[in-house]
Amino acid sequence: MSAILHGVRSLPLTTTLRGRLYESTAKTVLESKYPGLILCSVGRAGDRGVDLLGEFKDIEFLVQCKSSPSKAPGGLWRELIGACDPMYNSHDGTRLIQHPEMKTTYNNRVSKSGDQNTKKMLALLVSPLPMTSQAHAEFSSSKIPLIHCILPLSKVRLKEDGELEASAGKIRSIIANSMAEKILKMIEKS
């Protein structure tokens, strides 16, 4: 997190900065909870709302972090599902989001038939509060493997040297839809 915040002094804690802190906290917490999970930040123009890309045991992860202090609405799931579909099913089968630090080459061709050479994918939404009932219906009925990770907002403080510091936080709960549960069971077996 210090790389993001290095040199940040006396700036107001804007929505953008709070979001970047939350993304960094989510990355740190998820990687420490799941050793071997590698996440890279991709938040930039054209990222389709995806904040982190990652991989773990041949499973690709898309992570969207929302630091909103309200329950996660159904629109967040529709946004994440929309990010997954074109990314993995583009008209010519190429990845639309790439990151140079990932072990996997994200611009490799992907089989549309879902053959054994195609990696499995999980989409995670990390937010500080549970879902609304509408969101839960969208989440549960999706054919995309989805996981909701509830990570409370970090406490942010200004250190004596003027740098911002966010507490790491702990995951409150993780819920997976039926499609994600199938993939998680495969991970447990390997």
How far is it, in rounded angstroms, from Cα 154 to Cα 25? 8
Q: Classify the C-alpha dihedral 90-91-94-96 as positive or negative.
A: negative
pLDDT in tens, 38-50: 999 886 655 567 8
pLDDT under 70: residue ranges of the chain: 1-13, 43-48, 85-119, 162, 164-168
pLDDT digits (tens, 9 = 90+) for 140-174: 998 889 999 999 987 777 777 767 666 667 899 99
Q: Report how far residue 58's alpha carbon sits from residue 86's, in angstroms, rounded to the nearest whole number.
A: 20
> For residue 41, what are the β-bridge partners?
52
* pLDDT of the residue at 150: 94
pLDDT at 92: 40
Q: Residue length, the chain?
A: 190
Q: How many CB atoms lie within 10 A of CB 85?
A: 13
pTM as predicted: 0.74
How far apart are the C-alpha atoms of 37 and 31, rounded to whole Å?
5
